[in-house]
Every structure is written in structure tokens, then in C-alpha cells.
Amino acid sequence: MDIKGTDNMSRPSYVFIDTKALYHNLLVVKQHVKNKKVIAMVKCNAYGCGVDAVVNTLAPYVDGFGVACIEEAIKVQNICNTANCILFQGIFSEKEFKIAYARNLQIAIHQERELAWLLNNPSANKISIWIKVNTGMHRLGFQLDEIPGVMTKLNACPWVKDIKIMTHLACADNDLDNRNQSQVDKFNSLVGSYHKIDTSIANSAAILSNPDAQGDIVRAGIMLYGVSPFNEKTGKDLGLLPVMHFKSRLTTIYHYPANIDIGYGATWHSDEPCIIGIVPVGYGDGYPRNVINSYVWIREQRVPVVGRVSMDMLTVDLTNCKNASLDDEVELWGGNIPVEEVSHTADTIAYELLTRISSRVCRK
């Protein structure tokens, strides 16, 4: 067996966040929604892409940032103290209203308990409220017949500044699903009785596929990060650019004879002599362990991942990549290997891969 190795001072795996691609994707959003307001969804550390970089890039160009909790809103406002933040998952305890008032946060309410907390906590600072209505997703939201009573109470509340109404489509990623139109029809029938009230329906999938399901304010999420919300398409197919580029380097190359097995469980066998490369990325970094027939990009070509992915490394078959050398750059996903492709080989979705990059992976 012939072996060569390197002695690098630091682990060469990293994530590069392309903020120019992020801005490009925002322009694509705006092309689809014309003059409607755009909320940039930055929950879960901006879908794993880093809330600092995303907020700094988008703050001058969007109408607000969508988050899941108070802690995320505080991070956004620490980056941009003038940012409008909307708590789209609502409030988790009554005491959080005081923080929301002090920080001028906007709150989505979706249940009677939140409404009671709001009405029982007067404030000198008026607050903007988003009513989430359940039109068919059956996750969060007041029922349709509850909305008139909710509206009456909010309109009578002196510390409510303004009210918006929103819903969420359960099947927006399948534009042929009839349930989308059913939800839109229910929503439009509801809001038609209220004048001069802003509405919001569309997430990324609806922004791209259904101009009639957008409302006055859209909530752009995954498409901002260059990823398609549709199973059968990639971001590139939709004119989007990848924001997250997950990369590493070849740190070891082995030349093996025929009839060898690779990795835990000996799940990959070579009948011929082969060249195996080691990439210091594994499931401990966020690369999925259960990929099947996945590829990385080395020397301008696709190279197969072979054997099981380990916690700290994976193995690739360099037999047909004759010019591969130590320290060659390896793209796990990004401009050449779409993250959507990797997610399909792992039987999951790109959202999960973006958000589970571990803290030990450095960012550039």
C-alpha cells in the first residue's frame, strides 16, 4: 500500500457565506412580488447561514426580519438596532410582553392565551400585532370563526398600534395541490370584511409559484439562501444563487489494491485497485451520515462519497480523478453540488442540512 499524508496545523473544513448571492436572491424575491413588502426570515441563525452576515446585508432593503423567539429578535436588534422584528411563533410566557414592548417587537398571536396576556399587560408603548389564522394547516392559528371576536378585542385595546392578518399554506411546495387554493379562498373570504388591513400568506414556495397567494406582505425564507422550496427543482433552476458553501480539503490519499472494504461496517467494496481520499468532514460537522450515492466536487468533477460517513471524516473514491492531490479543495455543497441534491441522497430536506452545521465548523 502506498500512502501520503499532510500535517496541517488546523482542520481545513469551513463554511463560506456569499452575501452577494444573498442580495441577488433578495432581488429575485422582489421581482416576483413587485411592490409588496418583504419580511426576511432569519430564524435558526438565518437558516444556518449566520444572522450577523444576513442582517447586515439585508437590513437596508427589507421591511423587517422574521424570527421564532425573543432571543432571536434580540440578536437581530443587537446587529441592527432599527430593525423591525416579528415574533412569528408568538410569545411563550406572559413576562415576554414587557420585553416585546421595550424593544418595539411585533408579535404574532395564534391562541386565546396570548390574547389574554396581551390584554392583561397594558403598555405606554403601542405594539403591532399579527393575527395568525388557521385556514387548513392545523398547526398554529385561531379558527376562522374566532377571528371576529379577536378583532373586536384588539381594536378596543389602547396599546395595540395596528393589526395584520396572516396564514400559512400547508402544501405551498406543491403548486398543483388543490388545498392551496382552498386555503387562499378561506383567507380572502375572511379578510374581505376588514378594510385597510395588511395581510400575509406567502412563504418562499408561494412567492415563486402563486402570485395570487401573496397578500400585502411576503415572508421570504429558504429562497433567500439560494435553495429551492420544491422537491423537483434546485435553486439554480429558479435563478437563485447558493449562499452557503460547505468546503474542506483532501488531507490524505491512499492507493489500495483490489478487494478492499472501506469504513465502518465494510459497506463499500472495491473489486479493482482504487484511490481513496480522506476529507475531514463528518456527521459531527453537519454532513449527513446516511447519504446514499452522494458526491463531492474536486478538481472540476464530481467524486463519489464511498463507505459510511464517520463523525469526523468521510471517504471519497478518487480512482477516476487522476489529478487529485493533497490539499485540493473539496466542495461538500455549494455552487457545483447543490445542497438540495445532498439532502435528497440523505432522505431529508435542504433546510435541515443548512441548519445543522455544527459550531466546530469555522466560517469565512
pLDDT of residue 216: 96
Q: Does residue 247 lie in a domain region?
A: yes
Q: What pTM did the predictor assign? A: 0.94
Q: Is residue 237 situated within a structural domain?
A: no
Identity of the amino acid at 96: E
Rg (CA), the chain: 24
- Is 43 considered catalytic here? yes
Confidence label for 7 from pLDDT (cuts 50, 70 and 90): very low
* Statement to judge: residues 301 and 153 lie in one domain: no
337/204 same-domain check: no
Mean pLDDT of 236-251: 98
Residue 322's pLDDT is 86
For 21-33, the pLDDT digits (tens) are 999 999 999 999 9
Residues 339 and 285 in one domain: yes
pLDDT higher than 60, residue 348: yes
- pLDDT-above-90 percentage for the chain: 93
Taking residues 278-303, report their average pLDDT: 98
The mean per-residue pLDDT over the stretch 163-178 comes to 92
pLDDT of residue 4: 54
Cell numbers at 190, concatenated = 375572511
In the predicted model, what is the mean pLDDT of the chain? 95
Q: Which domain CATH number covers 49?
A: 3.20.20.10
Q: Quick one: 220 and 314 in the same domain?
A: no
Pairing of strands 217-220, 295-298: unpaired
Of the residues 4, 20, 95, 264, which is catalytic? Answer: 264
Q: Which of 171, 204, 229 is the last residue of a domain?
A: 229
Residues 271 and 347 in one domain: yes
- Residue 235 in any domain: the answer is no
Give tens-digit pLDDT for 64-112: 999 999 999 999 999 999 999 999 999 999 999 999 999 999 999 999 9
Total number of domains constituting the chain: 2
- On whether residue 295 sits in a domain, the answer given is yes
Active-site residue identified among 43, 132, 164, 247: 43
Percent of the chain with pLDDT over 70: 98
Length of the chain measured in residues: 364
pLDDT band at 353 (very low <50, low <70, confident <90, very high): very high
pLDDT given at position 195:
83
**Does residue 156 sit in the same domain as residue 183?**
yes
Specify if 267 maps to a domain. Answer: yes
Q: What is the CATH number of the domain that holds 261?
A: 2.40.37.10
Q: How confident is the model at residue 1 (pLDDT cuts 50, 70, 90)?
A: low
Q: Are 219 and 147 found together in one domain?
A: yes
Tell me: do 150 and 297 sit in the same domain: no
Assess whether 6 and 82 both reside in one domain.
no
- Residue 196: predicted pLDDT: 86
Phi, psi angles (nearest 5°) of residue 319: -55, -35
pLDDT tens string 49-67: 999 999 999 999 999 999 9
- Average pLDDT (260-276) is 96
| pLDDT reported for residue 176 | 83
Residue 320 lies in a domain: yes
The yes-or-no verdict on residue 8 having pLDDT over 80 is no
pLDDT at 343 over 90: yes
Which of 195, 229, 263 is the last residue before a domain boundary?
A: 229
Tell whether 253 and 221 lie within a shared domain: no
Beta strands in the chain (DSSP E): 2-5, 14-17, 37-41, 64-67, 85-87, 106-109, 127-132, 160-166, 198-200, 217-220, 244-249, 252-256, 260-262, 268-270, 274-279, 295-298, 301-306, 314-317, 329-333, 362-363
Asked whether residue 234 is assigned to any structural domain, the reply reads no
Residue 263: give the domain boundaries: 2-16+243-363
Q: What pLDDT does 2 receive?
A: 55
* Per-residue pLDDT at 10 exceeds 70: yes
Helices (H), ranges, the chain: 19-33, 43-47, 51-58, 70-79, 96-103, 112-119, 147-155, 178-191, 204-209, 339-345, 350-355
Asked if residue 238 belongs to a domain, the reply is: no
215, 318: one domain: no
**Distance, CA of 53 to CA of 19 (rounded, Å):** 7
Residue 272: all three cell numbers together: 479493482
**Do residue 318 and residue 201 come from a single domain?**
no
36 is catalytic: no
